[in-house]
């Protein structure tokens, strides 16, 4: 669920809390919660956690959630490092819709509710928000000058959400939900250009704004050497494997990602 960069930043924030409050096993779960936030928000949320840790009701909720997670996956308390624990916690939560819902609610309490969260990508650059939870009054994702923003597997809780892409740029949204008090909008495999807004359960189009299906910037394609079938796959998934299988003829081939 979490990416390696957010896990590292979250783990460092929890270690600072350990130095002050002592090492407590349920704080491993707090590390997971922080890792679900965008990297720019993690340190702010970690500072907010410092204030929560003296609250008895907060500590009771934390202990109850930790006990449930440890029951689902006992490795969460047995692995040696905080980074490994966060990954094991992710496995436990992914296998339990009830735990996932409770965790999402818990994260909403500890993440500092910002007035505005913004992502600006310029000059043929690329940024990705992956498997994150964002809480802010207003969220903005802006791409300029041939750049790309990817929002994947994330939930954005905001009353006003702006997606803006100019100069051959785009925002690619996949498996993500934009949620406000008036409802929610889910997007899967959507590319946006121009000014697009989401509020409640509706989508608004500014001048020149458009959405289209497809356009995933991470898609790689090629023909099977055995049967010439067109193969397409997300390179983020390819990174996990050393070979690929043709879905038509079932031939298996080793591969190497470009630039690897």
d(CA 48, CA 14): 12
d(CA 194, CA 185): 18
Query: CB-based burial of residue 108 (10 Å sphere; 0-12 exposed, 13-18 middle, 19+ buried)?
Result: middle
For the segment 90-104, what is each residue's pLDDT rounded down to a tens digit? 888 888 888 888 888
Query: CB-based burial of residue 139 (10 Å sphere; 0-12 exposed, 13-18 middle, 19+ buried)?
Result: buried
d(CA 260, CA 244): 16
Q: Using the predicted structure, report yes or no on whether residue 80 has a pLDDT greater than 60.
A: yes
d(CA 122, CA 108): 30
Model's pTM, two decimal places? Answer: 0.59
pLDDT average, residue stretch 24-39: 84
**Which residues are paired to 195 by β-bridges?**
164
CA distances from 88 to 42, 96, 241 (A): 20, 13, 20
Residues above pLDDT 90, as percent of the chain? 5
d(CA 249, CA 24): 53
d(CA 110, CA 88): 21
């Amino acid at each position: 669920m979490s990416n390696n960069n957010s896990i590292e930043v979250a783990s460092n924030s929890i270690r600072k809390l350990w130095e002050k409050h002592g090492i407590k096993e349920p704080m491993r779960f707090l590390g997971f919660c922080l890792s679900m936030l965008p990297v720019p928000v993690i340190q702010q949320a970690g500072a907010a956690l410092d204030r929560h840790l003296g609250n008895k009701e907060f500590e009771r909720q934390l202990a109850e959630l930790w006990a449930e997670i440890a029951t689902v996956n006992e490795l969460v308390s047995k692995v040696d490092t905080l980074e490994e624990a966060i990954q094991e916690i992710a496995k436990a939560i992914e296998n339990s819709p009830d735990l996932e819902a409770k965790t999402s609610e818990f994260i909403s309490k500890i993440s500092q509710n910002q007035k505005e969260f913004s992502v600006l990508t310029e000059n043929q650059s690329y940024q990705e928000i992956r498997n994150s939870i964002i809480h802010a009054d207003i969220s903005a994702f802006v791409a300029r000058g041939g750049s790309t923003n990817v929002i994947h597997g994330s939930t954005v809780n905001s009353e006003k959400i702006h997606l803006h892409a100019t100069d051959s740029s785009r925002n690619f949204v996949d498996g993500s939900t934009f949620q406000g008090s008036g409802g929610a909008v889910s997007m899967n495999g959507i590319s946006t250009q121009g000014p697009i807004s989401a509020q409640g359960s509706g989508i608004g189009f500014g001048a020149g704004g458009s959405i289209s299906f497809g356009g995933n910037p991470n898609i790689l394609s090629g023909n099977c050497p055995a049967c010439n079938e067109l193969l397409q796959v997300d390179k983020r998934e390819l990174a996990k494997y050393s070979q690929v299988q043709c879905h038509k003829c079932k031939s298996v081939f080793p591969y190497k990602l470009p630039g690897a």
